[in-house]
A and B are shown apart, each in its own frame.
Chain A
Amino acid sequence: MVGFAIIGVLLLIAGISVVVARQPVYSALALVGVTLGLAMIYLMLSADFLAVAQVIVYAGAIMVLFLFVVTLLTAGKEDKEPADTLAGQRWAGALFGLLVGGALAVDAVLHPAPKIAAPVVPGFGGLHAVGEALWGPAFVMLAGVALLLLTAVLGVLMLNHPEAAEKIAGHRRTTPPGVTVSPAEGEDGA
């Protein structure tokens, strides 16, 4: 319980500094702190595989890519407070956020979920339990999500890389014979 309290406080500090920090790199670092703290909480719940997966996937890969982009964006730039375009939006946002949080808390107290009281399966969050959950009954869902993500990646490729898109589409948008148009030439002409 003491450990949970310490990690909880650290997590809250890290989470708040993600939002508050003016320097985007600090925000990203605080987010790394959040993922590491979450991994600690998984460890305390003896879900060791989830904890390690959290570190490998989020801290080791996704947040590194975040930092990759953020360091490129902010190299040598001043970090100034952006102008508040909508008057009082922060206070309004804070107020509504508190209201939503309060409503959720009241609802949780009035209607506690009965299933939370049930104990989890033994070995929950370990290597074998996660493996059996993913490759057992939930495999169709896993494959579905994988397909969905693959589609999303291909979509980004199509949107950002017109030449590759044309190649994939099998040269459907062929240019008339004798006319060669490449994006660079088009820009030069304009």
Chain B
Amino acid sequence: MILQIAILVVKILLLVGILLGGFAYLSLVERRLLGFFQLRLGPNRVGPEGLLQPIADAIKMMLKEDLMPLGADPWVFRMAPVIAGFAALSVDAVIPFGAPIHLFGQTITLDIANPDIGLLIAFALSSLGVYGLVLGGWASQNKYSLLGGIRATAQIISYELAMGLSVMGVLLMAHTANLEGIVLAQRAHGWFWLPQILPFLIYTTTAIAETNRTPFDLPEAESELVAGYHTEYSGMRFALFYVAEYINVITQCGLIVTLFFGGWLGPSFLPPIIWYFIKVGIGVFVFIWIRATLPRFRYDKLMSFGWKVLLPAAFVYFLGTAAFVSGVL
């Protein structure tokens, strides 16, 4: 019993450590890759190839003054980044990142929890992340922040629908909402990205929108809203919003890999956990690639694209999958 709890605590600490470390180096990788995409070098001065840049950034963020506008609502202002960070970190608890391993005579599953409705829990927790954005925007009492928060709300609510509908086909094919069950079903039936190609594309699009990244970064559109919902934040509170955004990217890539690309499955010359990290790495690279390539959407185009294209397409494909799985077709 005590051993079980100890293993759980170690797993939680490891996961949070991996995610925070992943965030730190993802920020560096993204800046360097964006540099290469734009035919420049990116940060390469701190340490060899800029490898110590995240540490320098972290020290800078911690030493910066923590400012709060005079008219801000202090309680909500301080809570907002915490909510965003919590929602981002907690989702990963249900994603299996490797096959169960055997250690000290114990079978250790490589996830924090493995509930029957893991996918729904992941959706529920990630849907709470929008509170951080909207509350941060409101509490700053700044019109740009407020506009950013309100844009975030409208955008995330709109795209969450298409996102939820696009994974329904995967649930139908796997006959379970358990994420490990979905991975194992893909071992039996092949990876789901091919039979679910349209939902996969829709899910990726909505995942980019949910993480507020270009071309869907309207909540923080710097040419219109200064920095959107986190305009008034500085120091570690600002950094927490960044942590949340990057960890959301890692999480969404993890979910895409788990739902459509067989999770930790792969040829046996590498351990499953390595396959999982390779796949997530490829996903993150594609996210950065898309950011470097596409310009920002116009707001009305964003809304009509979400409601009039993604949502009906996801719904039709879902109905088709349902007919196919149930044997009607």
Contact = CB atoms under 8 A, between A and B. Distances in A.
Interface of A: 23, 25, 29, 32, 48-49, 52-53, 55-56, 59-61, 64-65, 67-68, 71-72, 75-76, 126-127
Q: Is the interface of A mostly helix, strand, loop or mixed?
A: helix
Given A48-B115, A55-B125, A56-B120, 15 more contacts: A29-B135, A52-B117, A55-B124, A56-B127, A60-B123, A60-B124, A60-B127, A60-B128, A60-B130, A61-B157, A67-B131, A75-B138, A76-B141, A126-B116, A127-B120
Contacts of B150: 68, 71-72
Nearest to A126: B116
Interface of B: 71, 73, 76, 115-117, 120-121, 123-125, 127-128, 130-131, 134-135, 137-138, 141, 143, 146, 149-150, 153-154, 156-157, 160, 177
22 contacts: A29-B76, A32-B131, A48-B115, A52-B120, A53-B120, A55-B125, A56-B127, A60-B130, A60-B160, A61-B157, A64-B131, A64-B156, A64-B157, A65-B157, A67-B131, A67-B135, A68-B150, A71-B134, A71-B137, A127-B116, A127-B117, A127-B177
A178 to B, nearest CB: 33
Contacts of A60: 123-124, 127-128, 130, 160
A75 B145 CA distance: 11
A68 B151 CA distance: 9
B174 to A, nearest CB: 13
A131 to B, nearest CB: 11
8 closest A-B pairs by CB: A60-B127, A55-B124, A71-B138, A52-B120, A68-B153, A56-B124, A52-B124, A75-B146
A64 B116 contact: no
B8 to A, nearest CB: 18
A25 B138 contact: yes
A65 B150 CA distance: 10
Nearest to A74: B138
Contacts of B117: 48-49, 52, 127
Nearest to B130: A64
A71 B146 contact: yes
Nearest to A49: B117
Nearest to A59: B128
A53 B127 CA distance: 12
Contacts of B149: 71
Contact of B127 (A55, A71, A75): A55
Given A49-B120, A72-B150, A75-B138, A55 B128 contact: yes
Contacts of B76: 25, 29
Contacts of A52: 117, 120-121, 123-124
B196 to A, nearest CB: 20
Contacts of A127: 116-117, 120, 177
A134 B262 CA distance: 31
A61 B124 CA distance: 10
Contacts of A126: 116
A59 B138 CA distance: 18
B138 to A, nearest CB: 4
Interface centre among B127, B146, B156, B160 (most CB of A within 10 A): B127
Contacts of B154: 68
A76 B157 CA distance: 25
Contacts of A61: 127, 157, 160
Contacts of B130: 60, 64
A71 B73 CA distance: 12
Contacts of B121: 52
Nearest to B123: A56
A110 B289 CA distance: 69
